[in-house]
Amino acid sequence: MAQLINGKEISSQIKEEVKAQVTELAGQGISVCLAVIQVGDDPASSVYVRNKKKACEYVGIKSISYELPESTSEEDLIVLVRQLNERQDVNGILVQLPLPKHMDEDHVLLSIDPKKDVDGFHPQSVGALSIGLPGFVSCTPAGIIQLLKRSGIAIEGKHCVIVGRSNIVGKPMALLMLRENATVTVTHSKTKDLAAYTRQADILIVAMGKRQFITSEYVKEGAVVIDVGMHRDENNKLCGDVDFVDVSPKCSAITPVPGGVGPMTIAMLMYNCVASVSLQSRK
Ligand code: GUN
């Protein structure tokens, strides 16, 4: 039977560690504050933003939130981001994506001070990651590294195959796995004979956004499988990009959905908020 990689438990551990650090900083007179901006009222974004604020409250990070109407102009949003960049009492700035269609996400992300970019989406953060300089790392891939390490799964020398090349998961995941000395293959929607690649994976990370697409034929015996997908099945139950029932007997370890990768994203956001304090003290 495959080892279940318990994201609920590991994310709780990380939040407890962050909480202790926040308390220690408070003892030194340093408070940590995250500004969260949501534009429009996309229901999924509202759930994410609510959960982020709840996590802040739990670990003792102050959160200030801006709920702006859908009709907000890109210019006005950037003016707000710039004001937050200047505020000494704000450590992290998070603009919830997706933004309304009339806005250019790249423009908005570029306006965030890289020292406050707790999502790790600014081009400077991505560039720093690619050449090994200090900077923020996108929360979901950073969380996956923690899941592996804290589950006792060695990464060095392993062949890691990633399915998906998004800026938020696939690409930073590849860079992080390289930093951990894995051999990395990135596959995507145009890859021919996907299974030929995924079957070579010691560690298979799936972020393709297709419900229960990865079946046992895509997986090598004994592989570690990480499922980043989040969908509803025909019975309205949460499920991932991986067909868990079919795949799990073949793996050595696997993340469930829910309770795998999902809870790690917010835990790593909290981690990044605390890390922002020391990043901001650098010249
Ligand atoms: N939308 C979906 N995931 C994320 C995330 O991690 N951060 C932000 N800002 N928006 C998102």
Is 96 a residue of the active site? Answer: yes
Q: What is the mean pLDDT of residues 218-225?
A: 98
The active-site residue, picked from 15, 21, 38, 52, is 52
Which atom, in ligand 1's list, is nearest to the CA of 139? 6
Percent with pLDDT over 70 in the chain: 100
Is 89 a residue of the active site? Answer: no
Among the listed residues 161, 90, 168, the one whose alpha carbon sits nearest the alpha carbon of residue 125: 168
Q: Please say if the pLDDT value at position 283 is more than 90.
A: no
- Check residue 74 and give its pLDDT: 98
Measured in Å, residue 264 CA sits from the centre of ligand 1 at: 13
Is 88 a residue of the active site? Answer: no
Q: Please say if the pLDDT value at position 170 is more than 90.
A: yes
The pLDDT tens digits for 154-167 are 999 999 999 999 99
Q: What is the mean pLDDT of residues 56-60?
A: 98
